[in-house]
Amino acid sequence: MKILITGGAGFIGSHIVDALITKGHSPIVVDNLSSGRKENLPEQVPLYVVDVCDKSALQKVFEKEKPDLVCHQAAQMSVSLSVKQPSFDAQVNILGLLNTLELAQEHQVQKFVFASSGGVLYGNVTQPVAEDYPANPISPYGISKWAGERYLQFFSQEHGLKTVALRYANVFGPRQNPHGEAGVVAIFSQRMLRGEQTKVNGDGKYIRDYVYVEDVARANVLSLLEDAPQIHAAFNVGTGRPTDVNELAEQLKSLTEKELKNRGSSIHVPTPEHGPARAGDLRSNLIDASRLQELWDWSPQVTLEHGLELAVNWFATEEFGN
Ligand SMILES: NC(=O)c1ccc[n+]([C@@H]2O[C@H](COP(=O)([O-])OP(=O)(O)OC[C@H]3O[C@@H](n4cnc5c(N)ncnc54)[C@H](O)[C@@H]3O)[C@@H](O)[C@H]2O)c1
């Protein structure tokens, strides 16, 4: 099948591309390369450097490629930027999504999968919550993801387009962008490998649900290719396992030290320091992915420990070569 992945040159999108190729499908990528990288993609994958906000450019891609399925990962994904510039967030995350949805419907795409977020929809929860837990987004980014899900539902009901929203937990792994505010694993791995000081916000007792990127890619592939019981469905994609930032920083310190030692490097990894707490950070966020497990037998295959090892190894290769 021909599958269009918006944001496919990014962290999660490029792993979806890899997973689809392994299954014998033909991915096509649309990405404006604002945070994505061409190098994340295998050479044979067509890359259209197009902004999803530019509907006529996007339309040309649909006309030329006639995709069977669409997987929409493109987004501005900074919560703090969304707070500073809600209209920019809405432009990309709502209007960009609507352009893609309208074109998918006009070109009779068979299914549309959308990257949503469990973290921003459910807010502060101390136990893993399922999809029926009331959504209560507080940031413009959360509001635009929630609006996106409602638009999907509308397109399903009004136009018969099959849609799936995947509500990711905290995704981590190789190719994650360490430059943004998101992705503590990427930021810490890179800084530690350089021997730079890392800062844990506040007391570090912020509980998150970390899910490995290949597990998230597999959830996308299942959602694209398998039948769902309803025309519109939403699924959580996470582990339900709580990890706080102190524990994560400790594991990353020992993994980066091991990696540096194996490479014969004398770089010293400083012990993370505690900085001021970040306003608005949730204390705890965990999601329950039983629905996805029951329907398609999806469960996380990569443990946090192993996933962190793979991520650190990838960041070390980026930094020092093979
Ligand atoms: N990483 C996480 O933990 C996480 C959690 C919940 C939801 N998500 C969602 O998953 C999706 C993928 O995120 P990611 O972590 O891979 O981030 P990413 O920044 O690596 O990927 C986003 C991609 O979209 C592209 N893009 C951005 N704006 C665009 C535009 N206007 N037109 C075309 N392309 C554009 C970027 O260049 C990038 O390649 C996003 O929708 C994000 O909101 C991510």
In the chain, the number of structural domains is 2
Residue pLDDT, tens place only, 122-174: 999 999 999 999 999 999 999 999 999 999 999 999 999 999 999 999 999 99
pLDDT of residue 269: 98
Q: Is 96 in the pocket of ligand 1 (CB under 6 A)?
A: yes
Tell how far the Cα of 314 is from the centroid of ligand 1, in angstroms: 20
Q: Is 78 in the pocket of ligand 1 (CB under 6 A)?
A: no
Q: Is 141 among the catalytic positions?
A: yes
Q: Contact, 134 vs 89, CB < 8 A?
A: no
- Nearest ligand 1 atom to alpha carbon 118: 6
Question: Could you tell me the CATH number of the domain that includes residue 313?
Answer: 3.90.25.10
Residue pLDDT, tens place only, 89-122: 999 999 999 999 999 999 999 999 999 999 999 9
pLDDT of residue 279: 82
10-residue averages of pLDDT along the chain (322 residues): 98 98 98 97 98 98 98 95 96 98 98 97 96 96 98 98 98 90 90 98 96 98 97 98 97 98 97 92 95 98 98 97 88
Does residue 54 fall inside a structural domain? yes
Does residue 177 fall inside a structural domain? no
Q: Is 94 in the pocket of ligand 1 (CB under 6 A)?
A: no
Does residue 298 fall inside a structural domain? no
Q: Is 97 in the pocket of ligand 1 (CB under 6 A)?
A: no
Query: Can you give the residue range of the structural domain that contains 263?
Result: 184-206+243-287+304-320
Tell how far the Cα of 6 is from the centroid of ligand 1, in angstroms: 9
pTM above 0.95, yes or no: yes
Does residue 49 fall inside a structural domain? yes
Question: Could you tell me the CATH number of the domain that includes residue 214?
Answer: 3.40.50.720
pLDDT of residue 181: 63
Q: Which of 141, 151, 206, 212 is catalytic?
A: 141
pLDDT of residue 180: 65
If asked whether residues 94 and 142 sit together in one domain, one would say: yes
**Which residue has a Cα nearest atom 9 of ligand 1?**
115
What is the number of other CB atoms lying within 10 angstroms of the CB of residue 174? 22
